[in-house]
Each structure stands twice: as C-alpha cells, then as structure tokens.
A and B are shown apart, each in its own frame.
Chain A
Amino acid sequence: MTFLELKDLRIHFPTDDGLVKSVDGLSFTLERGKTLGIVGESGSGKSVTSLGVLGLHKGGRAKISGEIWLDGEELVGASAEHVRKLRGKKMAMIFQDPLSAMHPYYTVGNQIIEAYRIHHDVSKKVARKHAIDMLARVGIPQPDRRVDSYPHEFSGGMRQRAMIAMALCCDPELLIADEPTTALDVTVQAQILDLMRDLQRDFNAALIIITHDLGVVAELSDDILVMYGGKCIEYGSAEDIFERPEHPYTWGLLGSMPRLDREPTERLLPIKGSPPSLINVPSGCAFHPRCPYAERTAGRSETEVPELLETAGGHRVRCHLPGERRRAIWEKEVMPNLEGTS
C-alpha cells in the first residue's frame, strides 16, 4: 500500500473577484523513506497543497475535492477532529519562518512539551525530558538550558532547528517542509539540509520539501514535481528533471538560474512575462503565453489543456509537443545554451 497518495486534489477559494483555483487536479504518491521535492514560483499552489494535506484548510472558505490517502486513511472527507489527531503524530510540518510560526510568549521547551503531551499521556517531567532529547538531537548546544529560552533568544538557524525538533517530537511518518531554509543564510542552510537528510534516514519518514530553489531540491529529493498555475506540469526522478527535463517551463527555470558549478554564461535565459493570476488562468495550457514553443503546437496550446502523460518510466509531462520533438528541442536548442562558455 502506498503511504501517501493524492488523487485529483483540487483546492479552490471563492473570492469576490472570482474563483481562485490554487490547486487544480494534483495527483502524486510518496513512500516512506523517500523525499519528494515540489518546485514552483509564488502562486503556483505548492504551499496550499501542503496545508491541504495537513487539513489546515478545514473550517476556512476553501472548497476541497479529490482524495488524500495517508497510510490507508482518507483525509479529505475525514472530520476535523480526526485530522487533528493525526496532525503532529502522523504528519507534521516545518514552516518557512520560525519566528512567526512559534509563539513568542512561550518558551521553546513549553511549545515542544505541549505538542508532545497532546499525543502522549505522560507527565510534564517526562515530556520535558523528551523535549531536551529532541533539542539535542537537532544539534542545539546545551539543550537542558536552551529548553527554557524564548524563540527570540535563538538565532535564525537555532530557531529553525527548534522547529524541526517540534515537528519531530511525536515521530511523524510524514514530514512536510515548506521553504525550510529560505529565511536562512547559506552556511546555515547547508547545516539544516544536512540535518534534515540525517533525520529522515534515522526516522524513515516520508519527506515533502517545498521550495522555489532548484539547488535545494537537487540536494535532497528522490522525486521532483514541478507546479505551474495550480497544476503539476512535470513529474519525475531527480535525474529526469535535471538531466532530461521535457517541459518548456522546467527548461525556463533551469535557464533562469545562474549556476556556480558551470562556467558563467554570457546571459541568463529568463522566461518572458510573469506567473499567471490564479483567477484568470490562461486558457488551454496555462504556460502558453510565456512558452517560446507554443506556436509549434498548431494552436492547440491555446484551446486544449494538455494531459499529464507518461513519457518514460515514471517521468510524466503535461505538454502538447510530441515526446520526440521535446527531446529534440532539449538536446539541440535548450541544453547547448545552458552550458556556459568561458
């Protein structure tokens, strides 16, 4: 049985200006011990997806349809009460900004203790011991002293470690990290990424890492899902996405990014235009107004929404261009421009 499976998940928000289709038909599976990277620009629906899996849209105005199966249980139709029991214990989240995700009035220790005692019937003393162990586990020095510190007394990297400790305190099987290192400096980011890699191995959790940084995704992920306008436009193994990407948007992301491991290119190759508004998603393929190859589809990209089709061994692409054409364009037109010239 698959551990996590999303089937045609849709999360729509009715607003005065129209229906915002933040997530529009998303499906994927994830096994224990594996890492899925979700990449996309702001407004692509990646964070809304993660909140949806955790059931944090319940009670709001969101209209959710589709199915989310976590270890044999369906979550979309489940009661808020039931999802709350799973949250923390079965699944947990690491947020981008630990300063706003932690309560400033409570000590870090108290916040971990609270989370632990909700799911475990233990005394405060035992929970406190556990909190100290967790802080030590994520590499916080002098955990028995730091457990009584307030979030503002921690540095950014330490706060992120504390939040990871909080997320892991009940040994969750699914961990979702939403831009876990975006707020951090690069040397601290490297520490946190190492920590997450080690912890995942030790805890054998399923990890979803959501980010706009392709470098971070490449460091951690087994599989990668690229989102655009609320839909998955390309899905595959990390090798598929970085070595034989097939969607023009993925090519665009790779061309937009200066890379330290290659000779500098003369110019970056940006995607023209800007990400779409989710109220007025372009007709047909949402990417067609920005796509340099749209005209080669004989007008289909403007009228028809392309299907997410498998091209080879689990690698799926949502594009009207035929597979051979895409591979030819990548090899002859795109890839040569990404290689730097000294």
Chain B
Amino acid sequence: MSRASEPLLSVQGLEKHFPVTKGLLKRQVGAVRAVDGIGFDVVKGETLGLVGESGCGKTTTGRLITRLIEPTGGKIVFDGRDITHMSQGRLRPLRRDMQMIFQDPYSSLNPRHTVGAIVGAPYRIQGIKTEHGVKRAVQEILELVGLNPEHYNRYPHEFSGGQRQRIGIARTLALKPKLIIADEPVSALDVSIQAQVVNLLEDLQSELDLTYVVIAHDLSVVRHISDRVAVMYLGKIVEMADRTDLYGSPMHPYTNALLSAVPIPDVRRRSERERIRLQGDVPSPLNPPPACRFHTRCWKAQEICRKVEPPLTALAPGHQVACHFPENLSGDAPPAPAAGQEKEPGTISPVS
C-alpha cells in the first residue's frame, strides 16, 4: 500500500451540533452534539474504519466530510484545499474526487431511472465528455463492478440487493474519485452477498488506487477491510489505531467492551470466553455526560473521569486513546498527562 506523507483528507476539531428548537419563535433550547470535535487524517491508498454504536455520530461524520450537511465547527481539508465552508458551486468540481456509497441499495437508487441513467448521471452533472460516449463508459464500469453491461436499460427493481449495491458502487466510481466514503456499505445485504461486496471493494481499491473511509457498526467487517480504525462514542473518537493494535491490544475500556460483546461463532469456547457486559444504553447526545462521556457505563470510572475530560493522546506509536485508565499499556509508553492528577488506577479510591 503506497503511503504519501501528505494526507488526502484531514479533519480537525470537526463539530456538528443540531439545534433543538422550541415554541413558535423557534428559540434554540439545546443542541444534539452529534459530532463533537473529532480529528483524523486519511492518507492516500489507505482505509480508515469508523465504528461505533447507533447515535455515536459516525454517519454524521461521513455526511460532514462530503459536505452533505454543514459543519458547525472545525476544519476539513481535502486534497490540500479547505472545503469546510466552501460554496456548493465551488465544491462541485471537487465532488468528482469524493463520492459516497450509501447503506440502503433500495432507497439510494431512483426507481424510475434505468441503470444507464443512474450510473451515467455523474457525467451529465459534471459535464464530462467521454471518448466513446457515455453509454460505453457506463458499460465499462458496470463490467468493472461485476454486472452485465447489457443490463444498461434495466430498472433497479429488476436487481437483487447485492446487485443494487453494485449499481450504487458503479455510480460512485463513474468519475474515478480519489476518496470514497462508504456508509454501512454491506449491512443491508445477506451474509453471502456481504462477502462478495467486501471483496469487490478491496479489488477496486487496489485496481483504482482508491482511499476509503468505511463507516460501519460491524466490528468484524471493519477489521477485515480497514488499515486503521477509529472507535467513536457519543460524538467523540475514543480510540484510534492500526487495525492490529486496536483489535489486538485495545486500550479504551469501551473498545474492550465492544469487542467482547461480538458473538463469536466458536461453540467450544462459548462458555470460557471472558465477557465485559456494559450496563444500560448509550446516553442521549442531547445531554451527554460531562468529562469522559463513557464514565456512566465504565467499570473503571473514578472521580477524575467525571471531572476531567481525557484528551485523545498517543500512548503508543500510532495508537491514540482518550482515557484516564487505559488498558494494555506497555511499560515504556509515556503516561497520559492527566491534568496534574495521579493516574495510577489503584491510588484513587473508587467513588460510588
């Protein structure tokens, strides 16, 4: 995998607060802090996985990067240009390089358009001339994603779920983008079809030198396709690391809990497995817990977790964690600066 030093996409302190209004005058009474200050870089050719439970802000993040919604704070730099508040008109030429794959192949394709019209739409909108005409170009892409080019004149309802997802991918690829944001690209598909689409995404990446941001809730799928993974909880990134580090030695208690909650198809070890069971549900992003947002469900939470928000710091090379009491910490790693407080788990008596 080629890795240029310059990131293709750089996100800093990105925020999206959806206003909550009340009454006739639409007075703002609060905000849903869907994404609350996240930052990451994606270098060319790599795949970043964004995982988290529903309501953690992963989809909003995808939509912010593609500027489908307007960020309320932070900065997005794509291919060297600041696109945070760029006008839609100026953004349009850039959209060629940045495309999105949607979750639901049933609602993301217009049922009244033929496959040819759907996959050809990017050429029309961007006003791109192709050498042998749009039809030829579309058919080549259909072939690339494993569809029959003769299906050019068919309608979406004539295809199965997996084939529709391929149509969506073909549309995404039409303009040879550099970056693809895939929001739950396989979660609506059957198991056997999921694997086909995952393999297709991987093949296309090596063939066309694509960069992916894959948003998904399925931790096994994310591990399979990502180079690096960021775990989100209530609008924040709590841990970000290389795939091997994150799955092999997760440091944040939430990541540990998520991983141990995944059912494993191994009947021999089902009774022996050590499990961490989180209590309750994810709190509402309308009123997130103060300081460390995970402290309400965390079994390691101490007084400091309720008072001081842990910053996202690199505790090992390329492994960032936002926690006061990280796990799997190797001895030589620098301890996290914790606002002048003693950080040893044993020294602070738990507050019940």
Chain A residues within CB distance 8 Å of chain B: 41-42, 155-158, 185-191, 193-194, 212-219, 238-239, 242-243, 252-261, 264-265, 267-272, 274-275
Nearest CB of A to B92, in Å: 36
- How far is B163's CA from A268's CA once the two chains are assembled, in angstroms? 18
Q: Judge if B291 is at the interface, Cβ distance under 8 Å.
A: no
Nearest CB of B to A84, in Å: 34
Residue of B nearest to A274 (CB): B160
B281 contacts which chain A residues (CB < 8 A)? 155-158, 188
| Contact of A274 with B163 in the complex, beta carbons under 8 Å | yes
- How far is B269's CA from A193's CA once the two chains are assembled, in angstroms? 16
Chain B residues within CB distance 8 Å of chain A: 53-54, 160-163, 190-196, 198-199, 202, 217, 219-221, 223-224, 243, 247, 257-270, 275, 277-279, 281-282
Nearest CB of B to A235, in Å: 15
A254 contacts which chain B residues (CB < 8 A)? 265
- How far is B224's CA from A239's CA once the two chains are assembled, in angstroms? 25
| Contact of B277 with A191 in the complex, beta carbons under 8 Å | yes
Contacts A253-B191, A260-B247 aside, 10 further interface pairs with beta carbons under 8 A come to: A42-B190, A187-B257, A190-B277, A191-B278, A214-B265, A242-B267, A257-B195, A257-B220, A257-B265, A259-B264
Assuming the A-B contacts A187-B278, A239-B267, A256-B194, are A268 and B53 also in contact, with contact meaning beta carbons closer than 8 angstroms in the complex?
no
A190 contacts which chain B residues (CB < 8 A)? 260-261, 263, 275, 277-278
- How far is B162's CA from A187's CA once the two chains are assembled, in angstroms? 28
The 6 closest A-B pairs by CB, nearest first: A215-B263, A270-B195, A256-B195, A190-B261, A185-B53, A258-B224
| Contact of B195 with A242 in the complex, beta carbons under 8 Å | no
Residue of A nearest to B160 (CB): A274
Question: Majority SS of interface residues in chain B?
Answer: helix
| Contact of A256 with B262 in the complex, beta carbons under 8 Å | no
| Contact of A212 with B219 in the complex, beta carbons under 8 Å | no
| Contact of B217 with A256 in the complex, beta carbons under 8 Å | no
**28 contacts across the A-B interface (CB closer than 8 A):** A42-B190, A156-B54, A185-B53, A185-B54, A186-B217, A186-B262, A187-B53, A187-B278, A188-B53, A189-B263, A190-B260, A190-B261, A193-B263, A218-B265, A238-B267, A242-B267, A253-B191, A256-B195, A257-B195, A258-B224, A260-B262, A264-B224, A264-B243, A270-B195, A270-B196, A270-B198, A274-B190, A274-B192
- How far is B282's CA from A221's CA once the two chains are assembled, in angstroms? 28
B161 contacts which chain A residues (CB < 8 A)? 42, 274
Nearest CB of A to B151, in Å: 14
| Contact of A216 with B190 in the complex, beta carbons under 8 Å | no
Contact of B224 among A156, A186, A218, A268 (CB under 8 A): A268
Assuming the A-B contacts A155-B281, A185-B217, A274-B162, are A215 and B192 also in contact, with contact meaning beta carbons closer than 8 angstroms in the complex?
no
| Contact of B263 with A256 in the complex, beta carbons under 8 Å | no
Contact of A253 among B192, B196, B260 (CB under 8 A): B192
| Contact of A41 with B192 in the complex, beta carbons under 8 Å | yes
| Contact of A185 with B192 in the complex, beta carbons under 8 Å | no
Question: Majority SS of interface residues in chain A?
Answer: helix
B268 contacts which chain A residues (CB < 8 A)? 239, 243
| Contact of A256 with B191 in the complex, beta carbons under 8 Å | yes
A189 contacts which chain B residues (CB < 8 A)? 261, 263
Nearest CB of B to A86, in Å: 31
- How far is B242's CA from A331's CA once the two chains are assembled, in angstroms? 33
| Contact of A186 with B261 in the complex, beta carbons under 8 Å | yes
| Contact of B258 with A187 in the complex, beta carbons under 8 Å | yes
Contact of A215 among B194, B257, B259, B265 (CB under 8 A): B265
B199 contacts which chain A residues (CB < 8 A)? 267-268, 270
Nearest CB of B to A183, in Å: 10
- How far is B265's CA from A211's CA once the two chains are assembled, in angstroms? 13
Nearest CB of B to A140, in Å: 11
B243 contacts which chain A residues (CB < 8 A)? 264
Residue of B nearest to A183 (CB): B54
Nearest CB of A to B256, in Å: 11
A238 contacts which chain B residues (CB < 8 A)? 267
Nearest CB of B to A62, in Å: 24
- How far is B197's CA from A272's CA once the two chains are assembled, in angstroms? 11
B261 contacts which chain A residues (CB < 8 A)? 186-187, 189-190
| Contact of B193 with A274 in the complex, beta carbons under 8 Å | yes
- How far is B278's CA from A187's CA once the two chains are assembled, in angstroms? 7
- How far is B193's CA from A42's CA once the two chains are assembled, in angstroms? 11
Nearest CB of B to A256, in Å: 4
Residue of A nearest to B283 (CB): A155
Residue of B nearest to A219 (CB): B263
Residue of B nearest to A218 (CB): B265
